[in-house]
Amino acid sequence: MITQRSIEEGVAMEKGKTTPEYFEACSIIEMHDDDVKALGLVPNQLVRVTSECGNVVVKTVKGRQSLYPGLAFIPQGVWANQVVPPRTQATGEPQYSGFPVTVEPVNGEKRKSALELVQGAVGMWRGDQ
């Protein structure tokens, strides 16, 4: 798994992290067609991504920037950071790119909003305000 920038993420972030634009730009995952097929996914299906330190539900989309099989991409931001391992190899820098994850289809679950994820993680989520 790698997490990196995208221009949609940049524009949406400047619009605001609580906007629908930010939600759509960042709560996604891009994979190689072979992997999508092997997992039996249809486009726009929701998947759960699990790493050594957490999991998050995101939507599979077909990106313009192609990856090789076995590599996946989530734009940097709230969703990616639910699964980014904080280990720094004693440099201060978390493992933002190059960490193992599993991806599996989910049913009957929704993507959470940025606020719900972050406030939820620290015990401050008070439901849809």
Partner 1 sequence: MPKKVENVGCPYCGVCCDDLVVTVSDDGKQILEVENACAIGNQIFHHATGSERIRLPRLRQPDGTYKDISYEEAVDYAAKVLYNAKKPLIYGFGSTNCEGMAAAAKVAEKAGAVLDNCASICHGSSFLAIFDNGYPSCTLGETKNRADVIVYWGANPAHAHPRHMSRYSIFPRGFFTGKGHMSRKIIVIDPRHTDTAQVADIYLQVKQGHDYELFDAFRAVVRGHEIPDVVAGIKREQIVEVANILKKARFGTIFYGMGLCHSDGRNHNVDIAISLTRDLNDYTKWTIMAMRGHYNITGPGAVWSWQYGYPYCLDLTKKDIAHMNPGETSSIDLAMRDEVDAFINIGTDAGAHFPIDAVKHLRKHPWITIDPNINMASEISDLHIPVGIVGVEVPGIVYRMDNVPIQYRKVIDPPEGVISDEELFERIYRRLSELEADEAVKEHAKAAPEGVRAGE
Instruction: List interacting residues with partner 1 (CB under 8 A).
Output: 2-7, 10-11, 14-18, 53-54, 64-68, 71, 73, 76-78, 81-82, 84-86, 88-98, 114-115, 117-119, 121-122, 124, 126
Among 8, 6, 100, 5, smallest CA distance to 49 is for 100
β-pairing, 46-51 vs 54-61, is: antiparallel
Tokens of 31: 């994979």
Q: How near is the Cβ of 26 to partner 1 at its closest, in Å?
A: 9
State the DSSP code for 50.
E
CA nearest to 12, candidates 123, 86, 114, 129 = 114
Residue 91 structure tokens: 């440099």
Q: Based on CB atoms, which residue is closest to partner 1, 45 or 55?
A: 55
* Cβ at position 87, least distance to partner 1 in Å: 8
CA atoms within 13 A on the CB side of 88: 4
CB closer to partner 1, 65 vs 107: 65
CB of 88 to partner 1, least distance (A): 6
User: Which positions ≥6 away from 123 have C-beta within 8 Å?
Assistant: none
- To partner 1, the closest distance from the beta carbon of 1 in angstroms equals 9
Nearest to partner 1 of 8, 106 (CB atom): 8
* Nearest CB to partner 1, comparing residues 108 and 128: 128
